[in-house]
Amino acid sequence: MTSETVGTPNFLSTKNIPVNERLIVALDFPSTEEAENFVDLLGDTVVFCKLGLELFMAGGYFELVERLRNKGKKIFVDLKFFDVPATVGSAVRQLKKHGASFATVHGNDAMLEAAAKEKSGLKILAVTALTSLDQGDMDDLGFQVDIADLVLSRAKRAMELGCDGVISSGIEAPRLRKDLGDNFLIVSPGIRPGLNREVDDQKRTVDVEEAFLNGADYIVVGRPIRNADDPKKAAEEHQARIAKLFDS
């Protein structure tokens, strides 16, 4: 990491968020039954769950959302809406009745604006740049811009259009906080709590503490918990690390 991305306590979130809700666990499973069993295994250790595209394609997605909400869980619908603006707006309007807390939109200004107009109590998070992409990938896609500049630009536009926050790597979070302030949410995926970060398709990764000290309000963790020998213990360890930051 460069000196620009090293975490500083000045960026630690001061928002009124329960500490145990700052960890969002990604339910990346091929069936809703496996996902629900995993949530039951974690028990009260985790409150916030992210349901993505894999589960959506498995069938029974919104039935699972309802069951998890009945278990007291908060839901992050990560379907990255990307379509013509009217369709995105309609999708957000339909989603509101399912009681999700967060939803992602991955699109241009008109799509983000359409989503924000329909959000009501649902918080809309704009995707900036996927954490599975690095600068080489962006160059290959034809984006002739530094990835940090792209993230900042997309975040700034999202805030102006009425979104509640962004999905951003913890690497870019300090610059977002420095340039755009604290009046929006940063949700950071790509969390790798160990020293070996070259283990999967996530490229722009940070540690648990780095993410929060860099300005994240929430972190999303999937494989480091799901693939652990003892997932509940791994989740507890993540929560303990987060609590140590915010209780100190």
Catalytic residues: 80
Strand partners, 125: 104, 165
- List the beta strands (DSSP E) in the chain: 23-26, 48-51, 74-81, 102-105, 123-127, 165-167, 185-188, 218-221
Q: In this structure, are residues 60 and 50 in contact, taking their beta carbons and an 8 Å threshold?
A: no
**Distance between CA atoms of 171 and 160, rounded to whole angstroms?**
22
48, β-bridge pairs:
24, 74
Residue 169 has a pLDDT of: 86
75 forms beta bridges with: 49
Helix H or strand E segment including 65: helix 61-70
Nearest to 13 by CA among 216, 245, 170, 243: 216
The predicted pLDDT at position 247 comes to 86
**Residue pLDDT, tens place only, 143-157:** 666 667 777 888 999
Task: Count CB-CB contacts under 10 A for residue 136.
Answer: 10
Residues of the chain below pLDDT 50: 1-7, 9, 133, 195-198, 200-204
pTM of the entire predicted model: 0.87
Q: Which helix (H) or strand (E) holds 83?
A: none
Angle 58-101-83 from CA coordinates, rounded to 5°: 60
User: Which tokens is 98 given?
Assistant: 């399912």
At residue 153, the pLDDT reads: 86
How confident is the model at residue 146, as a pLDDT?
Answer: 66
Average of per-residue pLDDT values in the chain: 87
Task: State the pLDDT at residue 134.
Answer: 53
The domain ranges of the chain are 16-247
The CATH classification of domain 16-247, taken from the options 3.40.50.300, 3.10.450.50, 3.20.20.70, 3.30.70.20: 3.20.20.70
pLDDT in tens, 22-55: 999 999 999 999 999 999 999 999 999 999 999 9
CB 43 within 8 A of CB 70: no
Tell me the residue type at 33: E
| pLDDT at residue 190 in the model | 82
